[in-house]
């Protein structure tokens, strides 16, 4: 579908927290269209409608792109939501076809993903931003020639895609260490969390330093010779192992190494750990690893721009700050982690745009 994006703006005061609505003042289609990307964890929906019941006659000509998400294992809720809309699907359409009595046209997932990214980067102002604790949302204007770039899409798995042009892309790497199976699997074993959103809320209250072994815990200060700050994580969950080791070791005298002698007294406390701290630690661990893998691929392919997408991010401060820190650290400040305000709807947006081509 051709979308007239002239004058497009993101509506910050949208009622739904699932995604920012996009106002399209010059897109005047009468029809309502819906596109869906059903993944292993979430179903993402993009739908177009016109301005409802406005007293301003000009606004009646305006259209909006709206965004919503549903758990994949709760598709009945999404079907209720879609009863009044036409359907257009990326994948896994059988149940929807039966329930809604419509014909679903399926499209290639990777194609739609890249098409959606290109649209958001090129057509939507104030979509792309960088993140740091000092500047939580610093908007970034992509260059006119946006290629090549790297897309790190973090969903049930991680796909790293090199995009060289509008229809020129390839998946060059990826990892299974991500939130759906690995991350939530470990979290469910170690805590009572039952969802990713619950884990994110807990992580905001936690302190990873209570369970992670830091450079300062080993050396007592920064390790300037190799450029490591005292706050750098030396070993994820390292204090968990150390505390259990101390509490279970037999009473015997032996010569300790320098690093063992420098371990802080707090680490010899009773090894009880808060769920909040465990969630924060695991979030740092996964984000750090994804950030490093992304940097190594960008370096290997001589790419400067790295975009992160997927619902793993969800605008979460720890996730974005950790990914940003990893890219900045490993690239020595030569690369930046770039984020999208609609990071979870890339595939669904691409399917929406693909409609007119068919």
Residues 70 and 80 in one domain: yes
Instruction: Pick the range with the lowest mean pLDDT from 4-8, 115-119, 125-129, 316-320.
Output: 4-8
Q: Is residue 235 part of a domain?
A: yes
Domain holding 107: CATH number?
A: 3.30.420.510
Q: Is residue 63 part of a domain?
A: yes
Q: Is residue 108 part of a domain?
A: yes
Judgement on whether residues 147 and 230 belong to the same structural domain of the protein: no
Q: Do 277 and 191 have their domain in common?
A: yes
Q: Is the pLDDT of residue 341 over 50?
A: yes
Q: Looking at the domain assignment, is residue 290 inside a domain? A: yes
137, 197: one domain: yes
pTM for this entry: 0.79
CATH of residue 148's domain is: 3.30.420.40
Shared domain for 173 and 313, answered yes or no, is yes
Q: Which of 104-113, 117-126, 136-145, 337-346 has the lowest mean pLDDT?
A: 104-113
Q: Are residues 51 and 78 in the same domain?
A: yes
Answer yes or no: is pLDDT of 45 > 50.
yes
Query: Which is higher by pLDDT, 250 or 339?
Result: 339
Look at residue 272 in the predicted model and tell me its pLDDT: 66
Alpha carbon dihedral 78, 79, 85, 91, in 10-degree steps, equals: 80
Percent of the chain with pLDDT over 70: 75
Q: Does any domain span residue 3?
A: no
Same domain? 289 vs 334 = yes
35/154 same-domain check: no
Distance CA 95, CA 76 (A): 9
Q: Which residue among 253, 272, 291 closes a domain?
A: 272
| Cα–Cα dist 2/302, whole Å | 33
- Nearest CA to 199 among 129, 325, 131, 286? 286
Among 272, 297, 316, give the residue marking a domain's end.
272
> Domain range spanning residue 103?
9-126+345-357
- Structural domain includes residue 202: yes
**How many domains in the chain?**
3
Query: Does one domain contain both 86 and 158?
Result: no
Looking at per-residue pLDDT, the higher value among 167 and 34 belongs to: 167
229 and 263 both lie in a single domain: yes
HSE, CB side, 13 Å, CA atoms: give it for residue 196. Answer: 19
In the predicted model, what is the mean pLDDT of the chain? 80
Do 335 and 352 share a domain, yes or no? no
Q: What is the pLDDT of residues 118-154, one digit of tens each?
A: 999 999 999 999 999 888 889 999 988 899 999 999 9
* DSSP one-letter string for 211-261: TSEEHHHHHSS-BGGGTB-TTSEEETTHHHHHHHHHHHS-S---PPPHHHH
Same domain, 184 and 321: yes
Q: Over the stretch 146-196, which tens digit does the pLDDT of each residue have?
A: 999 999 999 878 999 999 998 899 999 998 776 556 667 788 888 888 777
88 part of a folded domain: yes
301, pLDDT greater than 90: yes
> Is residue 4 one of the residues assigned to a domain?
no
Per-residue confidence (pLDDT) for residue 29, from 0 to 100: 64
Average pLDDT rounded to a whole number, residues 285-291: 90
Percent of the chain with pLDDT over 90: 35
């Amino acid at each position: 579908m051709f979308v007239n994006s002239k004058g497009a703006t993101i509506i910050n005061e949208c009622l739904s927290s699932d995604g920012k609505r996009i106002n399209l003042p010059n897109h005047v289609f009468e029809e309502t269209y819906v596109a869906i990307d059903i993944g292993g964890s979430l179903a993402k929906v993009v739908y177009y409608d016109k301005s409802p019941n406005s007293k301003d006659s000009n606004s009646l000509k305006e259209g909006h792109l709206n965004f919503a998400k549903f758990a994949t294992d709760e598709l009945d809720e999404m079907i209720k939501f879609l009863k009044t809309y036409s359907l257009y699907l990326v994948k896994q359409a059988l149940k929807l076809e039966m329930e809604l009595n419509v014909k679903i046209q399926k499209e290639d997932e990777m194609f739609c993903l890249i098409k959606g990214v290109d649209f958001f980067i090129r057509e939507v102002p104030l979509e792309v931003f960088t993140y740091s604790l000092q500047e939580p949302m610093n908007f970034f204007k992509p260059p006119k020639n946006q290629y090549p770039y790297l897309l790190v899409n973090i969903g049930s798995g991680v796909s790293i895609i090199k995009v060289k042009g509008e229809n020129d892309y390839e998946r060059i790497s990826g990892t299974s260490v991500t939130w759906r199976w690995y991350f939530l699997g470990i979290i469910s074993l170690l805590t009572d969390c039952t969802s990713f959103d619950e884990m994110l809320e807990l992580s905001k209250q936690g302190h990873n330093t209570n369970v992670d072994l830091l450079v300062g815990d080993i050396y007592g200060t920064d390790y300037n010779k190799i450029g490591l700050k005292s706050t750098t994580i030396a070993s994820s969950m390292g204090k968990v192992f150390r505390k259990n080791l101390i509490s279970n070791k037999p009473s015997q005298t032996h010569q300790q190494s320098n690093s063992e002698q420098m371990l802080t007294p707090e680490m010899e406390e009773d090894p009880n750990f808060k769920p909040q701290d465990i969630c924060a630690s695991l979030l740092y661990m996964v984000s750090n690893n994804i950030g490093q893998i992304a940097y190594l691929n960008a370096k290997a392919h001589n790419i400067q721009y790295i975009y992160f997408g997927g619902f793993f991010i969800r605008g979460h401060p720890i996730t974005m700050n950790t990914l940003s820190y990893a890219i900045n650290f490993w690239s020595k400040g030569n690369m930046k982690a770039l984020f999208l305000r609609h990071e979870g709807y890339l595939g669904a947006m691409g399917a929406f745009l693909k409609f007119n081509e068919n």
